[in-house]
Amino acid sequence: MIGHALRQLAAQLGSLVAERAADPALDELQLAHRLAREVRAFQPLVDDVVRGALRVHFREAIRDAGPGLDPTAAAAPGPPGAREVTVAFADLVGFTRMGEELPPGELEQVAQRLAQLAAEAADPPVRFVKTIGDAVMLVSPDAAPLVKAAVRLVALADAEGPEFPLIRVGVAAGPAVTRSGDWYGRPVNLASRLTGLARAHSVLVSGDVREAIGDEAGLRFSDAGVRRIRGIPHSVATFRARRV
């Protein structure tokens, strides 16, 4: 997980350095010298960025692990160390088709933009966990903030304009465990399945999420039916969430 994040960061900074150094008037040796100067100039920034990002993720890891260290805390049902959380996945509608139409570089930019929008929508206690291809994962100890973040993410994607694909979001809650910054358990699997069932430009939540939120101000729900979902042993009540 950390290695993947660092590779992504290094690739982004490398592209930035290459753009700054690019000059068609330079020969190969001159370009090499300019690249070396840019790298030296960026090195302090790289050190600060990595140090700051690692501190943030370290604090979040301790916060995630902390409740499991409390001997008086009631354990959530499920595997050892499980905690009650709400999980959301958001993916880009039609991304596979876009892959046939766009160059790989432009396709990557679309996926990166989704990650940026998800990070913008994820106000604490909601956390942006990771990207998985054309999807992003968010998690929160409370259902209402996460559903509000999901609804906001849909709105942010819409605001990107007609060239940006629509997104859809699935949200589920239940006991899950965290390992190395990632999350595992029933709500993770169910949220992923619900994302595949959601309509474009919508947020589809499970019945337990709807029940946990109740009459939360700022949200309204409509019944989306009871569904049989592959890999889930029982039927799941679903609801669409919207802003009031």
pLDDT in tens, the chain (244 residues): 455 556 656 666 777 778 888 888 888 888 888 888 888 887 777 777 667 666 655 665 555 555 444 444 445 555 667 889 999 999 999 887 777 777 777 788 888 899 999 999 999 899 999 988 889 999 999 999 999 999 999 999 999 998 899 999 999 999 999 887 789 999 999 999 999 999 999 999 999 999 999 987 789 999 999 999 988 889 999 999 998 8
Residue 131 lies in a domain: yes
Whether residue 21 is found in the same domain as residue 104: no
Q: Report cis status (omega within 30 of 0) of the bond before 125.
A: yes
Residue 77 lies in a domain: no
Domain with 20 in it: 2-69
Tell me how far the alpha carbon of residue 98 is from its chain's centroid: 20
Whether residue 44 is found in the same domain as residue 145: no
C-beta of residue 210 within 8 angstroms of C-beta of residue 147: no
Whether residue 61 is found in the same domain as residue 102: no
Whether residue 212 is found in the same domain as residue 111: yes
Q: How far apart are CA 244 and CA 179, in angstroms?
A: 36
Of 22, 43, 69, the residue at which a domain comes to its end is 69
What domain count does the chain have? 2
